[in-house]
Amino acid sequence: MAKRKNRRHLLHTLRIVSQLLFLGLFVGLLVATVLGSPLVRHPWVAQLFLITDPLILLGTALAGAFSAALLAALVVLGLSLLFPRAYCGWICPLGTSMDIVDKVLFRAMKRNRAAAPHLRKIKYGLLAAVLVMAVFGLGVFGWVDPICIATRSLAVVAYPIADWAAKTGLVAAEERGVGAAADLYDWASETGLFIRDANFKEGSPGIAYLWLFTFTAVLLGIWLSQAYQKRFWCRNLCPLGAMLGLVGSASPFRPRVSDACIACDACRRGCKMGAFQPAAGGERYRSLVQECILCYACEREFCPVDAIHIGAGSSGPVRPAPGVLPGRRAALTAVAAGAVIAPAMLLDRRTREKQETNPKLRPPGSLRPDTAFLAACVRCGECMRVCPTNALHPSGLENGVAGLWTPTFVFNIGYCEYYCAVSAEDVEAGRLTSTANLCGQVCPTGAIQPLTHPEKIDHKVGTAVFDHTRCLPWARGEECLTCEEQCPLPEKAISHRTEEVANLDWLAMPESKRNRFEDLEAKRAAGTLSDAQREELAAMPPRTRRLARPYVLRDRCIGCGTCENVCPLDGRSGIRVERLQTRTIQ
């Protein structure tokens, strides 16, 4: 690290304060986006970072899934016209987290900040590729958008892990009789700091999401790539950074190198974004406005002759300096890649839909058909965070490659809460016009629409179907009906009928005893049973028994998955929600 010559520039300090404030806001908003919090009634506040993300605005617009809320991103675009990548240096929570990790882990590491300058071109290619794929109706830019990455990382990785660790620690202390630990646990639960313990009714505390491991790896990859180069992601991969840099190309506000420059190369080697470059002619260096994140380190810390000053003045050339953008061939390759991969994904999706037995069950209010959903969903993970029963998880490939990390129901883990966002007052007043689905309330792009309670019932996630090879009354002659008991509909979608079924105890008798049984039965029918024989027959199990067996009333089922969730079988449930059938088979 270059030794700091002078005291830090005031704006450098202010930037750090700004970063911490926005990171705190980001974390705070996500933690507060939960069932029962007043924040969910003001979703624009909860989604603040996502709806002000210009890449999400552009991507969804191109994909044909534009939503008015996203116009808030124009504020950031306006900011970037003047201060191109100030967002990256002052606001972006992913960037802030990187800086923190860098300070903690890699401060003493010697890294060549000027290494591999050609890598920075990748982000422009990536931006082009994902925008082309958006044109094809795929919201896959969400995989690589930094705010989506940050939201997913916090909601699916960091918060559950921190929650589990805190709970485990407090529980261990509580078991040792530390009363304060129990009180602290209760307080954290009541205030909503702890994630609500969803539905498993015993065992170690905490919740988790599918794909947690992969998201952790992605986050760690982004953080630890800084072992090679500070802000590696921002410099070389971030498509939002690329976009903001390009938007601000004509900005009058940029680092300027004065004539005092002695071309000592200190700035190029010192800048963590590699945003300095020797100008043609070799006398003076110039800054790269598309790369600079306005961190204000260069103003005081590198230049031995104080030739660098960040300020307004004449706009530089709009066209990026050589070495910033990929060459024509590389750019065309990126576009072509997007144009080839996108249709491949669409064909893959359609094939999956036909082949896949594991159905794609989307949150209630999801746009239909699924292609419309894929165009709008940016895979941010807000719906997964807010679902009060931990029912929504990132999907894998069962919805096609294009559907990776979009939300899907896992009913073995949670279920779609009947009265989710509906309050008791609403029910009592019979006034069911407020939004009923929390997922639809927090979705920033409207991929999941907010629905009223009657609309949510009408939407139908899927239809429950009994698996007669698993369900206890059907497969094993044992009584149950837990699914019917807990079906939340006022007119239940599961009913039962008491039927005469084979008695397994009778079947368990050896054949000789069964023959004896038949003989005695015949004698009884003929009225020739002796007293001893009557006793013998009474001691034997009956051939059949009466057992209540459940049936699904298809027309009523809304596919909420409560039945599948509460089925007492370990492993696959005896009743499962399957995809809605099209046309006449309901």
Partner 1 sequence: MIHPLTRRTFLRAAGTTAIGVAGAGALSGCGGGGDEATYAARPHPQAEAWRNRIGLAQGGDDPGRNVEAAITKLCGSDGAKTFVRQGDVVVIKPNIGWAQVPEMGATVDPAVVATVVRLCREAGAAAVKVFDNSVGTDAKCYKFSGIEDAARQAGADVFLCKRHRFRTVAFADPRCKRLKEWPIYEDVLTADVLVNVAVAKTHNLSYVTLCMKNLMGTQGGDRGKMHQEIHQNLADLNVTITPTFNVLDATRVMIEGGPSGGRKDQVVRAGTIVCGTSTTTIDCWAADPAHLPWPKGHHDLKAVEMIARGAEAGLGTADPAEIEVRA
Least distance CB 411 / partner 1 (angstroms): 14
Helix (H) or strand (E) holding 408, with range, is strand 407-409
- The contacts of residue 485 (CB under 8 Å, 6+ apart) are 566
d(CA 14, CA 9): 9
CA–CA distance, 238 with 271 (Å, rounded to integer): 18
Determine if 363 is a binding residue for partner 1 (CB under 8 A): no
> Per CB under 8 A, does 228 bind partner 1?
no
Contact flag: residue 392 with partner 1 (CB under 8 A) = no
Q: Decide if residue 579 touches partner 1 (CB under 8 A).
A: no
Contact between 205 and partner 1 (CB under 8 A)?
A: yes
Please report, as a single letter, which amino acid is at residue 54.
Answer: P
The distance of closest approach from Cβ of residue 311 to partner 1 in the complex, given in angstroms and rounded to an integer, is: 36
Which of the 8 DSSP states describes residue 572? S
The residue within the footprint of partner 1, chosen from 412, 419, 521, 541 (CB under 8 A), is 419
- The nearest distance, CB 478 to partner 1, in angstroms, is 5
102 contributes a contact to partner 1 by CB under 8 A: no
In the beta sheet, which residues pair with residue 550?
496
Q: How far apart are the first and last CA of the chain?
A: 66
In the bound state with partner 1, the residue whose beta carbon lies nearer, of 12 and 393, is 393
Token couple for 444? 């920033």
**Angle CA(69)–CA(388)–CA(413) in degrees, nearest 5?**
120
Contact status: 485 vs partner 1 (CB under 8 A): yes
In the complex, the smallest distance separating the C-beta of residue 432 from partner 1, rounded to whole angstroms, is: 13
Q: Does 583 bind partner 1 (CB under 8 A)?
A: no
Q: How far is the CB of 154 from partner 1 (least distance, A)?
A: 22
Minimal distance, residue 335 CB to partner 1, in Å? 41
What lies within 8 Å, CB to CB, of 409 at 6+ separation is 361, 362, 363, 391, 392, 393, 416, 461, 561, 577
- What minimum distance in Å lies between the beta carbon of 162 and partner 1? 15
What residues pair up with 278 in beta bridges, in sequence order? Answer: 285
* Closest CB 493 distance from partner 1, rounded Å: 12
- Between vectors from CA 173 to CA 168 and to CA 174, what angle results, nearest 5°? 95
Single residue of 6, 204, 314, 582 touching partner 1 by CB under 8 A: 204
Of 492, 488, 491, 485, nearest in space to 418 by CA: 488
Q: Is 44 in the site for partner 1 (CB under 8 A)?
A: no
Please work out the total of residues on this chain that contact partner 1, with binding judged by CB under 8 A.
Answer: 53
Contact partners, residue 464, CB within 8 Å, separation at least 6: 483, 493, 494, 552, 557, 559, 561, 563, 564, 575, 576, 577, 578
CB of 161 to partner 1, least distance (A): 14
Q: Secondary structure of 445-465 in the HEC alphabet?
A: CCCECCCEHHHHHHHCCCEEE
For the bound state, the minimum distance from the C-beta of residue 24 to partner 1, rounded and expressed in Å, comes to 26
Can you tell me which of 121, 482, 493, 552 binds partner 1, judged by CB under 8 A? 482
Given a contact cutoff of 8 angstroms between Cβ atoms, the answer to whether 88 and 293 are in contact is yes
Binding-site member from 24, 28, 542, 568 for partner 1 (CB under 8 A):
568
Q: Is 21 in the site for partner 1 (CB under 8 A)?
A: no
Count the alpha carbons within 13 Å of 21 in the hemisphere toward its beta carbon. Answer: 8
Return the closest-CA partner of residue 246 out of 71, 89, 128: 128
Q: Minimum distance from CB of 266 to partner 1 (Å)? A: 20
**Position among 269, 496, 556, 579 found at the interface with partner 1 (CB under 8 A):** 496
Distances (CA, A) of 180 to 95, 177, 203, 255: 37, 9, 22, 54
**What are the φ/ψ torsions at residue 152 (nearest 5 degrees)?**
-60, -45
Question: Shortest distance, CB of residue 348 to partner 1, whole angstroms?
Answer: 37
Spatial contact of 370 and 353, defined as CB atoms under 8 Å apart:
yes
Contact 43, 67 (CB under 8 A): no
**Which residue number, 228 or 418, has a Cβ lying nearer to partner 1?**
418
Rounded to the nearest 10 degrees, what angle do helices 54-62 and 73-82 cross at? 120
| Residue 541 interacting with partner 1 (CB under 8 A) | no
From the list 71-79, 185-193, 274-282, 518-526, the region that binds partner 1 by CB under 8 A is 185-193
Please identify, among the stretches 194-202, 236-244, 365-373, 402-410, the one whose residues bind partner 1 according to the rule CB under 8 A. 194-202
Contact 384, 30 (CB under 8 A): no
Closest to partner 1 by CB, 349 vs 492, is: 492
Q: Choose which of 179, 281, 491, 582 interacts with partner 1 (CB under 8 A).
A: 491
- Residue 36 CB, shortest distance to partner 1, in Å, is 6
Angle, helices 73-82 vs 239-247, to 10°: value is 60
Binding of residue 489 to partner 1 (CB under 8 A): yes
- The correct pick among 348, 398, 467, 479 for binding partner 1 (CB under 8 A) is 479
Find where tokens 């802030």 sit: 96
Residues from 459 through 478 that contact partner 1 (CB under 8 A): 472, 478
In the region spanning residues 61 to 100, those forming contacts with partner 1, defined by CB under 8 A, are none
User: What residue type is assigned to position 334 of the chain?
Assistant: A
Instruction: Choose, by CB under 8 A, the member of 487, 557, 558, 577 that binds partner 1.
Output: 487
Nearest CB to partner 1, comparing residues 177 and 510:
177
Q: Applying CB under 8 A, does 433 fall inside the site for partner 1?
A: no
CA distance 563 to 557: 10
Interaction pattern, residues 254-293, with partner 1; x per rule: CB under 8 A: ----------------------------------------
Q: What is the 3-state secondary structure (H, E, C) of 60-94?
A: HHHCCCCCHHHHHHHHHHHHHHHCCCHHHHHHCHH
Of 357-365, 489-497, 506-514, 532-540, which part binds partner 1 (CB under 8 A)? 489-497
Is residue 109 a contact residue for partner 1 (CB under 8 A)?
A: yes
Q: Assess 555 for contact with partner 1 (CB under 8 A).
A: no
Tokens of 356: 């896949």
Note whether 475 and 469 are within 8 A (CB): yes
Contacts with partner 1, residue ranges (CB under 8 A):
35-36, 108-110, 167-169, 171-172, 174-176, 185-186, 189, 196-197, 200-205, 388-389, 417-419, 423-424, 427-428, 472, 478-482, 484-492, 496, 548, 566-568
